[in-house]
């Protein structure tokens, strides 16, 4: 069932859980994630990041992800992740994404709030949910020019008053594209933000979060937990294994089958923890 982010978050909260959101890069991992969610009766978000958009484009991604979501037995949100250009967001809305994230984390507070309000004006008439970010979750890749900084509770409160989004991403110690589970989480900071901001908070870069802390993030106020690298690792490692074990195999469907199973298994594991 295709749903907005707001509805998927509501359903997750009603069940006393967080919403797991997974970056996917095509049909194979999208279908695998939804299969895992269906088996547990859990809502889920399929997210398209900048890499996926650059590779396939908004129209193709929208067709694939919307079809997978529409055929699902659970609520599935189709979400544009980390968009920095209003034109990209407008295109995603026009092609049927049910949720968009405007990432103004590298802008001033005032500019971030101003552009987020413009996104709210664009998304509202289409019934599309909006996520924004205050503070800035960093990246493990040192080649990226990016200034990370923690989210201050009062800053988050002021931002939400200025731009009342459906979900707000905050920086509390996670890092994008971490491979090892070594994130130094600041749970008290998350609790303080949650006390002041009564909207689902979003944790980006959760692959680096130790498994035992995923549920704690939800209990401290996180409503949406984003995961991407963990599925890339699962898919990539299994694909490499299949190629090495079957050097004469050229049928991509046969090669991708075990990769989809690996992604489904990893998604299922994370769903159980969130």
Percent of the chain with pLDDT over 90: 89
Q: Each residue of 5-33: b (16+ CB within 10 Å) or e?
A: bbbbbbbbeeeebbbbbbbbbbebbbbbb
* CATH of the domain spanning 2-273: 3.20.20.70
Q: What is the pLDDT of residues 109-150, one digit of tens each?
A: 999 999 999 999 999 999 999 999 999 887 766 666 568 889
Mean pLDDT is lowest, of 46-60, 134-148, 153-167, for: 134-148
pLDDT category of residue 174 using cuts at 50, 70 and 90: confident
> Which residue, chain included where needed, has tokens 């890092």?
175
Q: Would the pLDDT of 18 be above 80?
A: yes
Mean pLDDT of 151-165: 97
pTM over 0.75: yes
CB contact at 8 A, 130 and 116? yes
> Which residue, chain included where needed, has tokens 């994404």?
97
pLDDT category of residue 43 using cuts at 50, 70 and 90: very high
Mean pLDDT taken over the chain? 94
In this prediction, residue 91 carries a pLDDT of: 98
C-alpha pair distances (Å), 134 with each of 20, 100, 108, 148: 20, 15, 10, 11
In this prediction, residue 144 carries a pLDDT of: 65
Q: What is the pLDDT of residues 73-114, one digit of tens each?
A: 999 999 999 999 999 999 999 999 999 999 999 999 999 999
> What is the rounded distance in angstroms from the CA atom of residue 65 to the CA atom of residue 158?
34
Catalytic residue numbers read: 81
Q: Would the pLDDT of 71 be above 80?
A: yes
Query: How big is the CA angle at 73 (ends 71 and 79), to the nearest 5 degrees?
Result: 65
Q: Report helix, strand or coil for 246.
A: coil
Which residue ranges make up each domain of the chain? 2-273
Q: What is the pLDDT of residues 223-273, one digit of tens each?
A: 999 999 999 999 999 999 999 999 999 999 999 999 999 999 999 999 999
Q: Which residues pair with 23 in a beta bridge?
A: 47
In this prediction, residue 136 carries a pLDDT of: 81
């Amino acid at each position: 069932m295709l749903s907005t982010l707001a509805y998927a978050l509501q359903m997750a909260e009603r069940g006393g859980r967080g919403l797991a959101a997974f970056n996917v890069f095509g049909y194979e991992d999208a279908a695998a994630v939804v299969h895992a969610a269906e088996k547990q009766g859990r809502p889920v978000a399929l997210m398209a990041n900048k890499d996926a958009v650059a590779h396939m484009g908004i129209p193709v991604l929208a067709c694939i992800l919307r079809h997978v979501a529409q055929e699902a037995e659970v609520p599935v949100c189709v979400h544009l992740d980390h968009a920095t250009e209003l034109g990209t967001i407008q295109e995603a809305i026009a092609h049927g994404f049910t949720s968009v994230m405007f990432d103004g984390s590298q802008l001033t507070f005032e500019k971030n709030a101003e552009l987020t309000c413009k996104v709210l004006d664009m998304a509202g008439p289409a019934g599309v949910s909006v996520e924004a970010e205050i503070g800035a979750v960093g990246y493990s890749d040192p080649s990226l020019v990016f200034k990370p900084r923690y989210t201050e509770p009062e800053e988050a409160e002021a931002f939400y008053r200025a731009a009342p989004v459906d979900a707000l991403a905050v920086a509390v110690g996670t890092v994008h594209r971490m491979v090892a589970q070594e994130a130094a989480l600041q749970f008290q900071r998350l609790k303080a933000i949650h006390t002041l901001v009564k909207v689902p908070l979003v944790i980006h870069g959760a692959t680096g979060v130790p498994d035992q802390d995923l549920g704690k993030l939800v209990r401290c106020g996180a409503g949406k937990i984003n995961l991407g690298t963990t599925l890339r690792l699962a898919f990539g490692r299994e694909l490499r294994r299949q190629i090495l074990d079957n050097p004469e195999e050229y049928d991509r469907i046969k090669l991708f089958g075990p990769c989809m199973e690996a992604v489904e298994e990893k998604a299922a594991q994370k769903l159980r923890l969130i």
